[in-house]
Structure 1
Amino acid sequence: MYKISEFAEITGLSKETLRYYAEVKLLEPAYIDPRNHYRYYDDGSFFLAILLAKLRRFGFTIQEMTSVMEDESFSHLEDLLMQKREKIQLQMEDLRQQTEEIDEFLKSGRDDTRDD
C-alpha cells in the first residue's frame, strides 16, 4: 500500500489530482484509514492511474475518462482514441492552414512596401 504522496510520486499525478479523481469516482483509494483519513493506494490502482494520466495527456475530458473507466472494454477505449486522433489531425490541418495564411499575409505586406 502506498500513501497518497508516494503514489503521486510514482504515477506522476499530483495529490490534488488524486483527491479530485477520488471525489469524482474515477480512481478511489484502495483504503482510507478511518482514524486519520489517510488515503492508501495499492498496485491495482497503479495501472488505472497510469491509464488516467495517459488519457489526460491525450486531452480526454473527465466525462470521457469516466466513460472509459465505466465501460472497461478495450474496443470502447480504442474507439475513443481513434476519435481523439482524428480530432487532433483536423486541428493540425487547421493550424497548418493558419500558418500558411500568416505567411501569405506577411509576404503580401512585404511586397506592398517594396512597390513604394
Structure 2
Amino acid sequence: MYKISEFAGITGLSKETLRYYAEVKLLEPAYVDPKNHYRYYDDGSYFLAIMLVKLREFGLTIQEMQKVMKDESFFNLEGLLLEKRKNLEDQVITLQKKMTEIDDFIESGRETSE
C-alpha cells in the first residue's frame, strides 16, 4: 500500500488531482484509514492511475474518463480513442490551412511592398 504522497510520486499525479479523482469517483483509494483519514493506494490503483494519465494526455474529459472507468471491460475505449484521433486529425488539417493562409497573407504583403 502506498500513501497518497508516495502514490503521487510514482504515478505523476498530484495529491490534489488524486483527491479530486476520488471525489468524482474516478480513482478511489484502496483504503482510507478511519482514524486519520489517510488515503492508501495499491498496485491495482497504480494500473488505473497510469491509464488515467494516458487518457488525459489523449485529451479525454473527466466525464469521458468516468464513462471509461465505469465500463470495467473497457469495451468502448477503442471507439472513444478512435473518435479522439479523428478529432485530432481534423484539428491538424484546420491548423495546416491556417498556416497556409498566414503564409499567403505574408507573401501578398511582400509582393505589394516591392
Q: TM-score band (shorter)? A: over 0.9
Aligned to 2:64: 64
Unpaired runs of at least 5, structure 1: none
Taking the aligned partners of 1:87 and 1:45, their CA distance within structure 2 comes to 30
Unpaired runs of at least 5, structure 2: none
Taking the aligned partners of 1:113 and 1:28, their CA distance within structure 2 comes to 63
Moved over 4 A (4+): none
Deviations 1:64-116 (A, max 9, x none): 000000112333000000000000000001000000000000000010100xx
| 1:63-102 alignment runs, 5 A limit | 63-102=63-102
Taking the aligned partners of 1:33 and 1:95, their CA distance within structure 2 comes to 50
Aligned to 1:50: 50
Aligned to 2:113: 113
Q: CA RMSD in A?
A: 0.7
Taking the aligned partners of 1:29 and 1:72, their CA distance within structure 2 comes to 17
Taking the aligned partners of 1:112 and 1:73, their CA distance within structure 2 comes to 61
Taking the aligned partners of 1:36 and 1:14, their CA distance within structure 2 comes to 20
Q: How many residues align?
A: 114
Aligned to 1:26: 26
- Give 1:78's aligned amino acid: E
User: TM-score w.r.t. structure 1 length?
Assistant: 0.96
Taking the aligned partners of 2:100 and 2:17, their CA distance within structure 1 comes to 39
Q: Secondary structure at the match of 1:56?
A: helix
